Amino acid sequence: MKTKFIEEEIKYTGVQLSPHWIYKNFHIQGDAIVSFVGEVDVKLNEMVDIEDVINIEPISSDKMLNFIIECFDTDLSEMICRQRLFITIIKEVLENRGKKVKRSGDDLFWEDKKLSVSIATKSITSCLIHTALNITSSGAPIEVSSLEQMEIFDIKAFADEIMNAFKFELEDIYLAKCKVRGVF
């Protein structure tokens, strides 16, 4: 799993949740996770979450920390498990910083307000995850919590800590799989 924080701001519109977006834009081939900061504006026609489309709940925010994860040897069920692992890692990183965060499925809440959005999906060549955390609370269609309210200002260091923890977990899972003797 390769990791990279993208320094330039990128507006997330949903089109980034597509196969090989990381490779085509940042020349990172294979399983990877990238993060970047930017406005989020996902129209209903770009939404992957059918429930949000049915409920007419587009996603928007003036500034979010976005993560795109792409894995090539994973089915959708495993990718959803990785999504839940990723959300749990974010929760642990925040709690290590003294922030009491609640997780419900793939959503994070702080002070009873939604902090995150997240979706996992399958493409023709890979599985993908988009997870984003509000940096500011402005521009969202509902009242949300934000990293600024949590006094997390070094977004790059925060993102790197999360990506490295996720990379470590996946590598450790692989090694755990390789060290056991089969039983009959």
Name the band, by pLDDT with cuts 50, 70 and 90, for residue 118.
very high
Name the band, by pLDDT with cuts 50, 70 and 90, for residue 25.
very high
Contacts of 29 (CB under 8 A, 6+ apart): 23
Q: Could you read off the pLDDT of 127-153 as tens digits, one per residue?
A: 999 999 999 999 999 999 999 999 999
pLDDT at residue 127, as a whole number: 98
Interior angle at CA 68, CA 82 and CA 7, nearest 5: 140
For residue 57, pLDDT over 90 is answered with: no
Name the band, by pLDDT with cuts 50, 70 and 90, for residue 108.
very high
pLDDT at residue 18, as a whole number: 97
Q: Is there a contact between 22 and 68 (Cβ–Cβ < 8 Å)?
A: yes
Please, what are the domains in the chain?
Answer: 2-178 (3.30.930.10)
